[in-house]
Amino acid sequence: MSIKTLTMTAIVALGTSAAFAEEVRVYNWSDYIDEDLLKKFEEETGLTLIYDVFDSNEVLETKMLAGGSGYDVVVPTGTFLQRQIQAGAFQPLDKSQLSNAGNLWDVIQDRTAGYDPDNAYSINYMWGTTGLGVNVAKVKEVLGEDVALNSMDLVLKPENMEKLASCGVHFLDAPTEIIPMTLQYIGEDPDSHDTDVIAKTEEMLAAVRPYIQKFHSSEYINALANGDICVAVGWSGDILQARDRAAEADNGVEIEYHPFAEGSLMWFDQMAVPADAPNPEGAHKFLNFILDANNMAAASNYVYYANGNKASQEFLEEDVIGDPAIYPDETTMQNLYITTPYPAKTQRVVTRLWTKIKSGT
């Protein structure tokens, strides 16, 4: 075989393999989609979908800032998205490729524009609140029948925590969630970037620290469902998943989710396309697929998070759209607050404070 034919064969082989295996690589949160949708996407578009998961914004952000992640679609939370846009990590979306963009919900769009002006770089995937997951029977057994299951008192009052420690309490390992929550509790601006104000949370958190079994951002789903712990400060949908897993397992564990009566943090997970995405066209196809009202409804019905897609609401099951833990009523909505990213210097103070609270050092 001559060199020329060899090269030709190689080129043909490469060409065909590329045609057969056009890939879209999506990097999303763990336990965050109905897996049937992934198959459906491949069937509809003929593209190969490679779907990886992460469980912390920090991991995603490090990949974004290192560059060359190889992903076409990623799902950062609003505050992280804002900073990554500033770092130049994303490309503006081509709205002409998103025929379903009209399905988006203006109420949510208005809020996400705070992170992504004009929503130029991202679409909303899901949104939710940070609140309390409780094992009703165990908490009542420990703290009495008339304990308020929706109050921050449960997890920020040392005398309550001391009793709850026996059945196990987890907090999210996310200072950007717990510090605003504590600020809200002591009557400060939860979005304060003033390091002196932030420092006020230390005493409060140090007082309950001995009774917190673990700071972790995903283990509490199983731990709640198995009955290993009785209280978790966590994300709404995750706790509702724990509720359902416990119900399926029929293990006598009853889990409830409550946003804080004092006001909960509202967050938005946004789908965006990295600036160096290998297949931006495929990425837009995936976004448009997600924007489809039926698909988005299927995802929400599966993961129990509210979405930013108005048109999907008619396809949502009653236990999703009708559940105030997922789609809060008007008064709770008013009580929700959002936060903005910390500048690098403040972030360092916050991380340091967090390490100190967690490890006592």
Partner 1 sequence: MRRALLIAVPYVWLLALFLVPFFIVLKISLSDIELAIPPYTPTLDLSQGWAGIKEFFSQLDFENYVWLTEDDLYWKAYLSSVKIAVISTALTLLVGYPIAYGMARAPQEWRPTLMMLVILPFWTSFLIRVYAWMGILSNEGYLNQILLWLGIISAPLTILNTNTAVYIGIVYTYLPFMILPIYAALERMDESLIEAAEDLGCSRIQAFWLVTIPLSRPGIIAGCFLVMIPVIGEFVIPSLLGGSGTLMIGKVLWEEFFSNRDWPVASAVAVVLLLILVIPIVLFQRNQQKQTEADQ
- Amino acid in position 269: D
| Count, residues near partner 1 per rule CB under 8 A | 36
Q: Is the torsion defined by CA of 126, 132, 134, 136 positive or negative?
A: negative
- φ and ψ at 352, to 5 degrees? -65, -45
Q: Does 21 bind partner 1 (CB under 8 A)?
A: no
The single residue among 130, 192, 213, 313 that binds partner 1, judged by CB under 8 A, is 213
Q: Does 340 bind partner 1 (CB under 8 A)?
A: no
Give the chain's length. 361
Q: How far is the CB of 347 from partner 1 (least distance, A)?
A: 6
Which residues lie closer than 8 Å to 315 by C-beta, 6 or more apart? 293, 294, 297, 298, 301
Q: How far is the CB of 140 from partner 1 (least distance, A)?
A: 19
Q: Name which of 133 and 175 has its Cβ closer to partner 1.
A: 175
Q: Is 25 helix (H, G, I), strand (E, B) or coil?
A: strand
Q: Does 193 bind partner 1 (CB under 8 A)?
A: no
Q: Does 358 bind partner 1 (CB under 8 A)?
A: yes
- Amino acid in position 39: K
Q: How far is the CB of 59 from partner 1 (least distance, A)?
A: 6
Q: How far is the CB of 216 from partner 1 (least distance, A)?
A: 8
Q: Does 322 bind partner 1 (CB under 8 A)?
A: no
Q: Does 348 bind partner 1 (CB under 8 A)?
A: yes
**Tokens standing for residue 161:** 């925590």
**Alpha carbon distance 122, 199 (integer Å):** 33
Within its chain, how far is the Cα of 152 from the centroid? 21
**Tokens standing for residue 198:** 């932030």
**Interaction mask 63-92, partner 1, x per CB under 8 A:** -xxxx---------------x--xxxx---
Kindly tell me the number of DSSP H helices and DSSP E strands found in the chain. Answer: 17, 10
Q: Which stretch binds partner 1 (CB under 8 A): 40-48, 57-65, 147-155, 312-320?
A: 57-65
**Interaction mask 242-261, partner 1, x per CB under 8 A:** --------------------
Residues paired with 169 in a beta bridge: 231
**Tokens standing for residue 152:** 């921050």
Q: Is 129 helix (H, G, I), strand (E, B) or coil?
A: strand
Q: Is 346 helix (H, G, I), strand (E, B) or coil?
A: helix
Q: How far is the CB of 223 from partner 1 (least distance, A)?
A: 8
Q: How far is the CB of 175 from partner 1 (least distance, A)?
A: 8
Q: How is residue 66 annotated by DSSP?
A: H
Q: How far is the CB of 213 from partner 1 (least distance, A)?
A: 6
Using CB under 8 A, list all residues that contact partner 1. 56, 58-59, 61-62, 64-67, 83, 86-89, 168, 173, 175, 212-215, 226-228, 344, 347-348, 351-352, 354-356, 358-361
